[in-house]
Amino acid sequence: MERYFIFMLLIYSITAQAALTVVADLGGEATAPYFEGINAIDRKLPLPADIHSVDENHFLPVISEKLTPGTLANRKHSLPGMIPIFLVGNDPLSKRWLKERLPMLQTLNATGLIVNVSDSSGLAALRNIADNISLYPTSGDDLASRLNITHYPVLITATGLEQ
């Protein structure tokens, strides 16, 4: 056993003192070209002189075919991270709902989606009621499908749907 230990120690000491063998020396080429796609320089292009602002009238009328004004049962669900939004339309029920819940919507800092509005005067009427709450005309069909809702007005929060 002692001979085996000495033999192993001798082999180890010989290999520990062996010189390194250089397999390839590529001349110190820079690696920067390989990273050009990753670290691309953000070149700012000049803006055109005539920039048109987006006019909301181009998005009107908004018609959500899967949503109609009506009553909706309150439901609980879990959507962590969901910011409060509400769906309204340009109809008497939505206008009354918006007036009644305005303080709560302001407290929640909710964003409104107008899912049925025919013209800019209807949009202006809803914005007049909503005071300083953001309202955006957009179709609600995708949300209706995802959340299985058929009626508005409705408040959608991280914890549930309520009317």
Q: What is the pLDDT of residues 78-102, one digit of tens each?
A: 989 999 999 999 999 999 999 999 9
Supply φ then ψ for residue 120, to 5 degrees. -70, -25
pTM of the predicted protein model: 0.68
pLDDT band at 41 (very low <50, low <70, confident <90, very high): low
DSSP H/E element including 138: none
pLDDT of residue 49: 63
pLDDT band at 51 (very low <50, low <70, confident <90, very high): low
Instruction: Please check whether residue 95 is in contact with residue 69, taking contact to mean a CB–CB distance below 8 angstroms.
Output: no
Average pLDDT, stretch 52-72? 88
Instruction: Please check whether residue 116 is in contact with residue 151, taking contact to mean a CB–CB distance below 8 angstroms.
Output: no
The Cα 6–Cα 10 span in angstroms is 6
Residues 6+ apart with CB under 8 A from 118: 60, 61, 90
For 1, the 3-state DSSP assignment is: coil
* Residue 16: pLDDT over 70: no
For 8, the 3-state DSSP assignment is: helix
Structure-token match 């005067």, residue found:
121
Dihedral (Cα; 145, 148, 150, 155), 10-degree rounding: -100
The Cα 111–Cα 105 span in angstroms is 8
